[in-house]
Structure 1
Amino acid sequence: MTQPMKKSAYKSQRKAEQERLEKQRKLMRKLILATGIIVVLGIIAAIIFTPKSDPTNFAYDTLPVLGQKDAPVKIVEFGDYKCPSCQYFSQNVKPQLEKEYIDTGKVSLYFMNFPFIGEDSQTAALAAQSVFHQNNEAFWKYYDLLYKNQQDEHTVWATPDFLVKLAKDNALPVDYDKLQSDIANATYEKEVNSHASTARAAKVQSTPTLFINGKEFTGEFSDYAGIKKAIDDALAAGTSK
């Protein structure tokens, strides 16, 4: 038969149990604190040591350029000739850029195709690339003409006949037969597709999208004040990519 525990022995055992539990609680608190510190330090390290996204590198020498090639700030526009927002940019923002920055040698503007609205977006891009390869200055006149004569984005208007006639009617200084042939034979299809691949790799979501010295401008394309600030910041940084 088991003998009942003496009261003094019970108290002694209870005290020892309480001391053991208290030691466990202190140990757990230390472990939790240490774990928390490690987590915080890990987050700080991740913020400090995670590399910033590198600027996108563009093959500027292969692109249409408006302005001086050695301008300290280079802007790349991704556009679709059927895009109404691109039309707005070409008619309202680009002229301000030209007057304040491009004509003064501070900025050069480049264009890359991101045709996604319709099949004739691709046709217009092929035509514009043909004009560019014949005459860089004529390209920018054609760029303006395409947006000036832009029609409803839901209709197929950028047909080969329309695109060639647009060049002829405005006496663009290019070979019209070559322009027609380049469109029909999709001479610059790989080039246009390469532009689009670059856009997708750079996570371009819409047109127009601007990159200023390789870094995407995340403000509104219609916000000239915002674009101006980004340009001035790039000029102050004194580097171009």
Structure 2
Amino acid sequence: MRKLIWGTSIVVVLGIIAAIIFTPKSDPTDFDYASLPVLGQTDAPVKIVEFGDFKCPACQYFSQQVKPQLEKEYIDTGKAAMYFMDFLIIGPDSETAALAAHSVFHQNNDAFWKYYDALYKNQPDEKLNWATPDYLLQLAKDNKIDVDYDKMKTDIEDKTYIKEVDKGSSTARKANVQSTPTLFINGKEYKGDFSNYGQLKEAIDKALAADKAE
């Protein structure tokens, strides 16, 4: 009986070990970085992708409290670059805000990030349908966003970049993104608390170390 029990135990243990060894690891998400708004140097060793919704209050927090720290320590120093993709989860006018931002991006990448900051700084209550074409256009003018405003108006009304907006949300769903903001570091989802800068810094430093080791 003892031999039977020991034999069974060994088989179970070996089965667990085999499951750990042979369970396929999830591959990093393959982003088309060249098609995305970028903040920082495109050849930076660490690439951070934010999935966001311009109506999302948590994204507002990230833009105002976390992004400035990332810029100072990693982006401005050339260690990391930040990219943005849409994941529309709040309301129907989340799409309108995304269309406006895409118009700005296609005219001026640097202006996109200024507009990104302006959108979050002036973000009303998420329950309101505030992201109207008139509001979004006036916000660009008030913040002296360096784009052609007539083109921006047309791009919003004609939904010029709707395929790009939809592609962002589709990519998010395929990557099993559940909320905004969600960050990916060199293609791998950051599972920690985005508001805990120390935890995020540790993940970025780990990615930097891995890049140097290659």
Shift of 1:31: 4.8
Equivalent position SS for 2:82: strand
Paired with 1:130 and 1:50, the residues of 2 have a C-alpha distance of 43
Paired with 1:235 and 1:130, the residues of 2 have a C-alpha distance of 33
Paired with 2:208 and 2:28, the residues of 1 have a C-alpha distance of 16
Paired with 1:85 and 1:150, the residues of 2 have a C-alpha distance of 11
* Identical residues among aligned pairs (%): 73
Q: CA RMSD in A?
A: 1.4
2:182 matched to 1:212?
Answer: no
Shift of 1:209: 0.6
Q: Report the residue type matching 2:171 in the other structure.
A: T
Equivalent position SS for 2:141: helix
Gaps of 5+ in 1: 1-25
Q: How many residues align?
A: 213
Instruction: Write out aligned runs for 1:107-118 (5 A).
Output: 107-118=80-91
2:153 matched to 1:176?
Answer: no
Q: Report the residue type matching 1:82 in the other structure.
A: K
TM-score of the two chains, using structure 1 as the length reference? 0.85
2:97 matched to 1:124?
Answer: yes
- The structure with more radius of gyration: 1
2:66 matched to 1:66?
Answer: no
Q: Which moved more, 1:205-214 or 1:32-41?
A: 32-41
Residue of structure 1 in register with 2:135 after alignment: 162
Residue of structure 1 in register with 2:195 after alignment: 222
Residue of structure 1 in register with 2:12 after alignment: 39
Shift of 1:172: 1.1
Paired with 2:188 and 2:96, the residues of 1 have a C-alpha distance of 29
Gaps of 5+ in 2: none
2:211 matched to 1:238?
Answer: yes
Per-residue Cα deviation, 1:68-113 (whole angstroms, up to 9, x for no partner): 0000000000000001110011011101111111000000000000
Paired with 2:34 and 2:5, the residues of 1 have a C-alpha distance of 58
Residue of structure 1 in register with 2:74 after alignment: 101
Paired with 1:50 and 1:98, the residues of 2 have a C-alpha distance of 37
Q: Report the residue type matching 1:171 in the other structure.
A: K
